[in-house]
Amino acid sequence: MAPIDGTFDYDLAVIGGGSGGLACAKEAVNHGARVAVLDYVTPSPQGTKWGLGGTCVNVGCIPKKLMHQAALLGESIHEAVSYGWQIPDLDSIKINWANLTESVQNHIKSVNWVTRVDLRDKKIEYINGLGEFKDPHTIVATLKNGSKKELTAKHVVLAVGGRPNYPDIPGAIEYCISSDDIFSLGHPPGKTLVVGAGYIGLECAGFLNSLGFPATVLVRSVPLRGFDQQMASMITNEMEQRGVNFEHKTIPLSIEKLESGKLKARWLNTQTQEQKEDVFDTVLMATGRYALTKALNLDVAGVKCLSETGKVIADTEQTNVAHIYAVGDVLEGRPELTPVAIHAGRLLARRIFADSPHQMDYENVATTVFTPLEYGCVGLSEEAAIQRFGTENIEVYHQFYKPTEFFIPQRNIRNCYLKAVAMRAAPQKVLGLHFVGPVAGEVIQGFAAAIKCGLTMEHLMNTVGIHPTVAEEFTRLNITKRSGKDPNPASCCS
């Protein structure tokens, strides 16, 4: 263990009490460190604030998954009739937005509370203040009432995460909301324009549409840029078939508030140069996120960050200043995902305070996009594998499939599809797995562990499936794209 140094108030100060910062702080106290965590939430342009715990708990994964679940339940109510449930007046069933947001916010508040208690129990000092450097070892926290609290620490971890970008167009900041606001919005969103077709744009458009709020998505380049594009098109096809309107190759031009209170949005098709406009109740900006490093006064600490995104470059989580580290969304070039921040934070604390040699492995991190039909993946996309190894060296196994639960009632199965991207040469090491269908996250998580263990196509084909599940489809893959054979399933049990 590193020596506890009495010349500093703390062995570790963590700036940012979100997924990465809290994980790092808790692990550090397990190894005897004296730890302080600073966390402060600056209100969104629309004035939304929240408590301790960071993005995931308050305005990210958790409320998003709950709203996704609310949307799935709405579908289930309608499907239940085909299974014999007697539901009177099915057509009048609709979501009560106020009840939904209340339930979601109550859950979040309980997590905020449990997190505070946990920090107190672990004797981690929680400072509800906006932190900035005074010098490389001294941090000043500005508290809610404006007073200042100064502390020194031997090691500092930057875990400040990020916040939504707003495009530089008239009306964006004044009238639009972001993911910071949607989960606690005080009124039903109504007809919504979602700008951006990344994770957040597609997920929000997906659950809003399924909850009964018509959604239009402005797509600047392609949906889910960087993901396997065949899979991305499956989930956007599915969304379109459910009624989401996609405006491809478009950028927003302006948002204007009408006397009625509604918002008139104008956008440009960058291919045809055609301009379009429509009136919406809500415009949600989902145009990426920037890192919250501006307020940190990094210059006085000597820490370098990128001017455009505010992100910190730190290959092994150590910045260019030896005792200052960074974890989570603040890091340049790392997946912006909660489990990534948590894992990196824990490993970092073990390296600093328990002489652990273990570094974070950012390769083969699994992820899921929680669109109405979910998309889970791990490893390389088909495009990335071809780019890295060449078409001739890659084998892609693929299959459409019919989830058993989609037979009653007959549901759209056109987009239930999966593929394995593998090396062509034996033993056909698996480079990437991609799955569009129900519970994709649950399906892909176990296969991610298999990939970590060096999964090959032979392993996969020799794995006996669990029937009838959707995950078993990976064990049934045997058609290669190269063969040109029909990847449609013959029957459920063939």
Distances (CA, A) of 343 to 23, 43, 61, 66, 91: 8, 28, 16, 23, 46
CB 442, min distance to ligand NAP, A: 13
Which of ligand NAP, ligand FAD, none interacts with 372 (beta carbon under 5 to 8 A by kind)? none
State the Cα–Cα distance between residues 146 and 73, nearest whole angstrom. Answer: 45
Residue 19 sits in the site that holds ligand FAD (CB under 6 A) = yes
The nearer residue to ligand FAD, 15 or 477, going by C-beta atoms, is 15
Q: Which is nearer to ligand NAP, 189 or 376 (CB)?
A: 376
Burial class of 406 by CB neighbour count within 10 A (0 to 12, 13 to 18, 19+): middle
Distance in angstroms (rounded) separating the CA atoms of residues 434 and 453 = 17
Minimum CB–partner distance for residue 387 and ligand FAD (Å): 25
Q: Which stretch binds ligand NAP (CB under 6 A): 19-27, 75-83, 117-125, 196-204?
A: 196-204
Give the residue among 280, 270, 281 at the shortest CA–CA distance from 248.
Answer: 270
What letter would DSSP give residue 7?
A: T
Beta carbons within 10 angstroms of residue 121's beta carbon = 8
Q: Taking the chain, what is the end-to-end CA distance rounded to the nearest angstrom?
A: 57
Of residues 225 and 452, the one with the C-beta less far from ligand NAP = 225
By rule CB under 6 A, what string of x and - marks binding of each residue 117-146 to ligand FAD?
-------------xx---------------
317 binds ligand FAD (CB under 6 A): no
> For residues 38-67, which are near ligand FAD according to CB under 6 A?
38-41, 54-56, 59-61, 64
Pair of tokens at residue 167:
């495009």
Is residue 286 a contact point for ligand NAP (CB under 6 A)? yes
d(CA 120, CA 207): 36
What residues have CB less than 8 Å from 413, skipping those under 6 apart? 400, 401, 402, 403, 406
Quick one: what does residue 196 bind among ligand FAD, ligand NAP, none, with the CB cut-off 5 to 8 Å set by partner type? ligand NAP
Does residue 235 interact with ligand FAD by CB under 6 A?
no
CB of 185 to ligand NAP, least distance (A): 17
Q: b or e along 10-23 (b: 16 or more beta carbons within 10 Å of the residue's beta carbon)?
A: bbbbbbbbbbbbbb
CB of 228 to ligand NAP, least distance (A): 14
**DSSP designation for 261:** S
Q: Which residues, numbered 223-242, are part of the site for ligand NAP (CB under 6 A)?
A: 225
Scanning 11-19, 281-289, 395-403, 442-450 for contacts with ligand NAP by CB under 6 A, the matching segment is 281-289
| Contact flag: residue 367 with ligand NAP (CB under 6 A) | yes
Q: How far is the CB of 123 from ligand NAP (least distance, A)?
A: 32
Q: What is the largest CA-CA distance in the chain?
A: 72
Burial class (CB in 10 A: 0-12, 13-18, 19+), 83: exposed
Write out the binding residues for ligand NAP, residues 128-187 only, by CB under 6 A.
167
Tokens of 357: 């040699």
Minimal distance, residue 468 CB to ligand FAD, in Å:
27
Between 35 and 477, CB nearer to ligand FAD: 35
Q: Compute CA distances 20 → 55, 280, 347, whole Å.
A: 10, 37, 11
Minimum CB distance to ligand FAD, residue 142 (Å): 9
Which run of H or E residues covers position 290?
strand 289-291
Contact 12, 153 (CB under 8 A): yes
List the one residue from 133, 199, 397, 400 that touches ligand NAP (CB under 6 A): 199
CB of 134 to ligand FAD, least distance (A): 13
Binding mask 6-25 for ligand NAP (x = CB under 6 A): --------------------
Count Cα atoms within 13 angstroms, Cβ side, for 1. Answer: 12
Instruction: State yes or no: residue 196 binds ligand NAP (CB under 6 A).
Output: yes
369 binds ligand NAP (CB under 6 A): yes
The owner of tokens 């797509």 is: 219
**Is 467 annotated as catalytic?**
yes
Q: Which stretch binds ligand FAD (CB under 6 A): 87-95, 115-123, 323-331, 471-479?
A: 323-331
378 binds ligand FAD (CB under 6 A): no
188: partner contacted, choices ligand FAD, ligand NAP, none (Cβ within 5-8 A by kind): none
Q: Which residues fall within 8 angstroms of residue 265, CB to CB, at 6 or more apart?
A: 193, 252, 254, 255, 256, 277, 278, 279, 280, 283
Among candidate residues 31, 434, 459, 467, the one labeled active-site is 467
Six-digit token pair at 254? 């302006």
Residues in region 180-209 near ligand FAD by CB under 6 A: 200
Residues taking part in catalysis:
467
Using CB under 6 A, list all residues that contact ligand FAD: 15-21, 38-41, 54-56, 59-61, 64, 130-131, 159-161, 179, 200, 292, 295-296, 328-330, 336-339, 341
Residues binding ligand NAP (CB under 6 A):
167, 195-201, 203, 220-221, 225, 251-252, 286-289, 335-337, 367-370
